[in-house]
Structure 1
């Protein structure tokens, strides 16, 4: 009986260690910045026209940074339409959008150039590989952080601080307008 209790204790301790390690590894990869912070540069990205992404270029007006892809059904069904709706509703009040497309940049760059012109806002994609393929596959943008879920939208105020982080298509559809509206009044 005593050996059985010791075995159960070892199992519980093992599970506890596993859970703590899992939480810590998830937290270490959680994407930054947090609400109220300014984002770090978005490494390994460039606009589809080849220019580097510089968030300072968007200062002074609210910005929605949208992460999505054509292979992502919730992105196509809910995320992208929610961002387009917000952009069309608030662009005359200064809303800016930066669409970070997570599709393969080598296969789809030409298509994304046309989409960028059609939608009226810039699209960024992963830059040509610099040797760190793991970061590219894991949607890791260096100091900016790692995107955990697509679609995701980050809403910045005019000073460049994060006011909202919204993940998942249905949440984007339900929450994006409410996050943007106070910034454009």
Structure 2
């Protein structure tokens, strides 16, 4: 469970039954800033089909709040103040994104900035919401908390 920047804490289990993107980032990370904007555009396109959760890692609330004051997002910004979630998910660089299936199992992992409009990423998202399988080989050895 992580505190939300602008609301009550969120437990990942609340989203069981729907695909989820969990995106780890920081406001000081230039590629993260670009990707968070791309995720916001994706949220518009996906609507309620996929939940996006962005997890800010290790920053004070005021800094994150100031950053998003000028950049409102269509999805929750969660605060991993002590980096416990980052450690639990074995994230070792930013940005890192996980695609989770309806059972909240990781089906894809990206440890670099993604172009959320690229054909491979679109195919993975379609597989989450449709019937196509996703190659999980990149995620072997990883688990969700």
Q: Same fold (TM over 0.5)?
A: yes
Does residue 146 of the first structure (1) align with residue 90 of the second (2)? yes
CA RMSD of aligned residues (A): 2.6
The match for 2:37 among 69, 75, 81 is: 81
One of 126, 129, 140 as aligned partner of 1:184: 129
Unaligned stretches of 5+ residues in structure 1:
1-41, 128-135
* 1:47 paired to 2:4: yes
Identify which of structures 1 and 2 has the higher relative contact order when contacts are C-alpha pairs closer than 8 Å and 6+ apart.
1
Structure with more helix by fraction = 1
**Change in CA separation of 1:62 and 1:160 when aligned onto 2, cut-off 3 Å:** same
- Residue correspondences, number: 127
Greater Rg by CA: 1
Deviation string 1:13-64 (CA, Å, 9 cap, x unpaired) is xxxxxxxxxxxxxxxxxxxxxxxxxxxxx5xx31113533301111111110
Q: Which has the higher strand share?
A: 2
List structure 1 segments (4+ residues) > 4 angstroms apart after TM superposition: 112-116
Structure 2 distance, partners of 1:90, 1:184, is 10
Structure 1 distance, partners of 2:65, 2:28, is 17
Question: Partner of 2:14 in structure 1?
Answer: 57
Match of 1:97 among 52, 55, 59: 52
The CA deviation at 1:114 is: 4.2
1:126 aligns with 2:80: yes
Runs (5+) with no aligned partner, structure 2:
131-145
TM normalised by structure 2 equals 0.72
Residue 178 (structure 1) shift: 2.8
Shift of 1:85: 3.4
2:22–2:54 contact (8 Å) kept in structure 1: yes
